Amino acid sequence: MSDLRLNLRRQTLETDAEGYIGWEAKTEEEVLPTSEVALLLCDVWDRHWCRGAAERLEAMIPRMNATANAARDRGVHLLHAPSETMEFYAGTPARERMKRIPHVEPPEPLDLPDPPLPIDDSDNGCDTGEKPWYRAWTRQHPGIEIDHDRDGISDSAAEIYSYLMHHRIRRLLVMGIHTNMCVLHRSFGIKRMVRWGVPVALVRDLTDTMYNPALSPYVSHEEGTRLVVAFIERFWCPTLESGDLFPGGE
């Protein structure tokens, strides 16, 4: 097993030479054995009710799969978390592996500030006009390979937390959709894990938002995603790029 060199970017409030306060991005390298890192794929579903969301995910799938495979090959733990589809995986080795993990009771959640998002997603964030919301997904996207001999499948916060503690994971990496919704707010998402004291980082180039440019702050979809990533770097956890998980930083 080799070490991972993770370039973690955070944003902090700094005061410049003239006394003006502003946000400054800083990147620090963290070196960890691959066996102490886990990569969680959040809601990388086979289908989505919003065409724009489905098309953007489809474009990311090849890179997501390559990143997951590269991480696994280097010794990183792979956790697949396609919410609300566990019946599809019932009885599979990867699902059973998670169910067998000895339970570890999480600590009392940390009382952390919870600022509002920088985008208005009150219309569910579809930028291609489809509505209303409905549950379109049945499984994880088939373009993501699952190694049933090594990976885990779960949408249970308790199972995932217990797995992380059992394997002494020192950094949980999260990629998937959607940054402003599931990635932040699922029971196993960034907010819950940070409140439980788990060191988390978002893979910022392999995520997307549910954001409609017709709503505040009236920017492009891509800028909306960038704003949410910056928000996470400021208030919740650092981010990194997927290249850090490839040998030689591809």
Q: Look at residue 9 and tell me if it is in a domain.
A: no
Q: Look at residue 15 and tell me if it is in a domain.
A: no
What domain count does the chain have? 1
117, two tokens:
């998002």
Q: Look at residue 24 and tell me if it is in a domain.
A: no
Where do we find the tokens 């969680």?
A: 40
239, two tokens:
């981010």
Distance CA(163)–CA(247), nearest Å, equals 26
Cis? peptide before 142, omega within 30° of 0: no
Digits of tens for pLDDT over the chain (250 positions)?
A: 689 999 999 999 999 999 999 999 999 999 999 999 999 999 999 999 999 999 999 999 999 999 999 999 999 999 999 999 999 999 999 999 999 999 999 999 999 999 999 999 999 999 999 988 899 999 999 999 999 999 999 999 999 999 999 999 999 999 999 999 999 999 999 999 999 999 999 999 999 999 999 999 999 999 999 999 999 999 999 999 999 999 976 6
**DSSP track, 83-142:** TT-GGGGTT-HHHHHHHTSPP-PPPPPP----PPPSS--TTTT-SS---S------SB-T
Entry field: residues in the chain: 250
How far CA 36 is from CA of 31, 64, 112, 236, 246, in Å, comes to 10, 20, 26, 21, 16
Q: Look at residue 29 and tell me if it is in a domain.
A: no
Closest by Cα among 145, 152, 209, 150 to 178:
209
CATH number, domain at 164?
3.40.50.850
Q: Look at residue 51 and tell me if it is in a domain.
A: yes
Residue 191, domain extent: 34-245
200, two tokens:
């988390």
Q: Look at residue 5 and tell me if it is in a domain.
A: no
Distance CA(1)–CA(33), nearest Å, equals 7
Q: Look at residue 1 and tell me if it is in a domain.
A: no
Distance CA(140)–CA(60), nearest Å, equals 14
Cis? peptide before 221, omega within 30° of 0: no
Cis? peptide before 109, omega within 30° of 0: no
By the 8 A CB rule, do 80 and 135 touch? Answer: no
Q: Look at residue 168 and tell me if it is in a domain.
A: yes
Where do we find the tokens 């499948």?
A: 153
Distance CA(85)–CA(144), nearest Å, equals 15
Question: Rounded to two decimals, what is the model's pTM?
Answer: 0.97
Residue 1: the pLDDT is: 61
